[in-house]
Amino acid sequence: MRAAAADGPVSEHDYVIVGAGSAGAALAARLSEDGTASVLLLEAGGSDRSPWIRVPIGYGLTFNDPRYNWMYESEPDPALDGRRSFVPRGKVLGGSSAINAMVYVRGHAGDFDDWAAAGNPGWSWQDVLPYFRRCEDSELGPSALHGRGGPLHVADVSADVHPLCATFLDACRTTGARLTDDFNDGVLEGAGLWQVTIRDGRRVSSASAYLHPARRRANLEVRTHALATRVVLEGGEARAVEYLAGGERRVARARREVVLAAGAINSPQLLQLSGIGEPALLAAHGIPVAHALPAVGAGLQDHLAVSYFYRSRVPTLNDRLAPLWGKVWAGLRYLATRRGPLAMSVNQAGAFLKTRPELARPNMHVYFNPISYTASTGPRRRLLNPDPFPAFLMSFNTCRPTSRGSVAIRSADPREAPAIRTGYLSTPGDVADVQEGARLLRSLAAAPPLAAVIEREYLPGPSVQGEADVLADFRARAGSVYHASCTCAMGPDPARAVVDARLRVHGVGRLRVVDASVFPSVTSGNTNAATIMVAEKAADLMKSR
């Protein structure tokens, strides 16, 4: 095995963590909180001090800025007419929690029971609930379900959402859906308003919640603009991380453990660059095999959604944010009160619903946004430049897709983006869900409360009706909801998993992975809350090693 390079500075720490994102920032704060263990946190991106990160709706800008986002794209996917998908990943302190839409959804209790049933003891709903509670400063807490006083503020913004959200909820109710004021009770099913990671009109990321308060500690060091290039193995154990900073190669040695928290794209990439992965892939790029582990980078899961757009007979957020005077009004209101459209996510209401009564859990995730963008979609979407007419959108994705993709290095150069193969719609069940989701959205639009305010469906439009046309439209327009996960999956079998139930890499000592890549299967909703929960649990696992 290759020894650590000696052409640059060498430092030594108890723990070396790669990635200061949703999981890494939280883990570094927890491992350093007793003051005894020295922790080095390496982040390839830079500071999160930009005002556009702090202002909630500012993610419409940072989401498209390579200073804060890796701006990855997938390989062309045959299921999407050969289109590439945008795969944003945070490249900044706080990682993707610094550029996401701030929706806080844990997932269904059954998601975590499934993890445990797959051979991962300690990961059932009852096992992970204390860690969800520990991280939270929830406006619904304290209770048996929610925490109060934790690092991560979770807000109830029901007083500030657009009035059309109430219309959407009425439509859901009239179609038989229950209304809920808490998607995070483990039941998940119902229609309601999203809880969000916003406090006093400012985004709450993993960095602002965990890392910034912890940076005063003498035993925690954070290095930004530090690109990890490989994990150094000695005697079958992880002993150091090589990284590039300031134009030179440096080495950080770990007395206890190395932890990869670089996310679902970069954690498998770094393992492969370190000689841990599928031997044929490593050999193709001239990387000596340090440890054969074929599941590294395999099993990628994500949520794939499509939006339906509706012209409205009543005002929407378009009327406020499209004209120049509306932007000025919103800006002045935010500066004066930290309220209004700029203090919110455009994702304001939604639902988790069953399309068939015999289902045990909701199978569709529905978003309702009182705003629309048809001229600027995908990575070019601009939240402050919506359509210049009153309109809104609804979107759907299947909660638990069964399709799988992969992440694989293209070369031995750590600066080259890996090949991301999404593998969308590669199972019959995922294809069938396209039809069920489309019928669900149209049934909501036809319900009297929404039908009364809809002028017309203008995309995909009334001409798209038959199953073939619905599927063709989905293939032409659907895109990722940016919930990449499962590429270093947890499980007992090294032939099919990368880490064990304690998040230790199979067959390699002193090396763990702690981020969304360890999910055995993607959760039913948004992934940021579950990723932070994984970090909270990992801290306990590491402290009790």
Annotated active-site positions, please?
A: 483
d(CA 368, CA 389) in angstroms, rounded, equals: 17
Count H helices and E strands in the chain, helices first: 16, 26
Q: Own/partner pairs for 140-149, CB < 8 Å, 24+ apart?
A: 140/181, 140/182, 140/184, 140/195, 145/182, 145/184, 145/185, 145/186, 146/184
Which secondary structure element, helix H or strand E, spans residue 135, and what is its range? helix 125-135
As beta bridge partners, residue 395 has 307, 367
Spell 5-40 as b/e; 16+ CB within 10 A means b: eeebeeeebbbbbbbbbbbbbbbbbbbbbeeebbbb
Helix H, strand E, coil C: the string for 80-104 is: HCCECCEECCECECCHHHHCCCCEC
CB atoms within 10 A of CB 163: 10
Choose among 402, 467, 461: nearest CA to 436.
467
Helix (H, G, I), strand (E, B) or coil at 205: coil
Alpha-carbon distance of 301 to 350, in angstroms, equals 22
